[in-house]
Amino acid sequence: MKRFSDTVYDALRSVKLATVLIVLIAVFAVAGGIIPQGRDESFYLHKFPGAPARIILALDLDGIFSGMPFLLLATLFTTNLTVCSFHRFTKELKKPRGNRRHGPDILHIGLLVFIFGGLLTARTRSETLIYLGKGQEARLPEGSSIVLMDLREERYPDGRPKSWESAISIDEKESTIKVNSPLRYKGYTIYQQDWKSAQHAVFEDAAGMRLSLDQGAKAKMAEGSVFFMTIEKGAPTEIGTDEYANAEAVFLLENDSGRKILRARKGDAIGLFTFAGFEEEAISGLKIVRDKGFPLVAAGLALVLLGTFLTYIRKLKGMLA
């Protein structure tokens, strides 16, 4: 009579179980592919009004791939894959060397390495988005300094972006980061993620001294302080006019007599200064990623690739014969 442990082992290494689990994972993926994932509750109430929204929210179908049912299924699949790989690999080793076929073993082990790498990534990956203007500096958590030396933007004649590049100095070594060409440095990877322009409010005093203020920043003046709150864009007066030519800057002025909100256009006086208009500055958005699972995931994918081709190489050879 079969021992209980043998029964469990046979069940867990079963190809039938693997097939059922693959189909179930596909069913979950279909649900995740149809229902938008990770949106606000209000999105589902609006998009799927009534009972469907209540069902989606009650069964956590808005976050299928991080929900308990899918994670349990993935755990069972990983267990099945592990036992199946071990069983198959040891069985192959008992065969004469020339008769062994290790393609499926490499493929399955690659999937396991990929899964464990993915878990490590999920637990340890960190991501930070920083925005730097030319000459501005940021620091990595371990102390390295990144300074944005230059930004280069090219556009096609139809106005679509052609290239975004940031020339940076990291610990005084110069490098260029482009979209699709990140920089790896001391365990971090820095990506060219975003590109935008920011408007600064510029003030001039009677002596011609200029003061530039970022949106959301505060400056002290002799008679108090000024906080640059926002920009209210006016309608362009004619086609092709700069959208900021007619805009108003909204400031919060603070002094001994209290607080006051002031809307100013180019040429308006603010205390002893004159508001001289807006100045545009290009800003580079750099994404800084640290991912300890990177080598495992990369190795897992390489093994999956190798294993899949080795498994079906006979068919490929047969096709070309």
Q: Which residues bind another protein (CB under 8 A)?
A: 15-16, 18-19, 22-23, 25-26, 29-30, 32-33, 36-37, 65, 118, 121, 127, 156, 158, 160-164, 178-182, 189, 191-193, 287, 289, 291, 294, 297-298, 301, 304-305, 308-309, 311-312, 315-316, 318-321
Nearer to another protein by C-beta: 175 or 255? 175
- Nearer of residues 192 and 199 to another protein, judged by Cβ: 192
Q: Angle, to 10 degrees, between the axis of helix 103-124 and the axis of helix 68-93?
A: 150
- 109/201 with CB nearer another protein: 109
Question: DSSP 3-state helix, strand, coil percentages of the chain (rounded to 5)?
Answer: 40, 35, 25
Between 118 and 236, CB nearer to another protein = 118
Return the number of the residue (105 or 291) whose C-beta is nearest another protein: 291
- Specify the DSSP element, H or E, that contains 20: helix 15-34
Rounded to a whole number of angstroms, the minimum distance from the CB of residue 29 to another protein is 5
Minimum distance from residue 162 beta carbon to another protein (Å): 7
Q: Which is nearer to another protein, 182 or 277 (CB)?
A: 182
Residue 209 beta carbon to another protein: minimum distance, rounded to whole angstroms:
40
Nearest residue (CB) to another protein, 43 versus 309: 309
* DSSP notation for 41-79: HHHHHHHSTTHHHHHHHHTTGGGGGGSHHHHHHHHHHHH
- Exposed (0-12), middle (13-18) or buried (19+): which is 321, by Cβ within 10 Å? exposed
> SS3 of 10, please?
helix
Residue pair 45/114 in contact by the 8 Å Cβ criterion: no
Residue located via tokens 């109430």: 45
**Coil, strand, or helix at residue 241?**
coil
Task: State the minimum distance, in angstroms, from the CB of residue 277 to another protein.
Answer: 31
- CB nearer another protein, residue 146 or residue 297: 297
The CA distance from 278 to 243, in Å, is 11
Tally the residues of the chain.
321
- Report the C-alpha gap between 98 and 260 in whole angstroms: 87
Shortest Å, Cβ 287 to another protein: 6
Structure token pair of residue 47: 């998009």
Q: Cα–Cα distance between 125 and 228 in angstroms, integer?
A: 36
Cα→Cα distances 307→51, 100, 203, 321, Å? 46, 14, 66, 22
Which CB, 77 or 275, lies closer to another protein?
77
**Shortest spacing between CB 255 and another protein, in angstroms:** 47
Minimum distance from residue 156 beta carbon to another protein (Å): 6
- Whether 80 contacts 88, CB under 8 Å: no
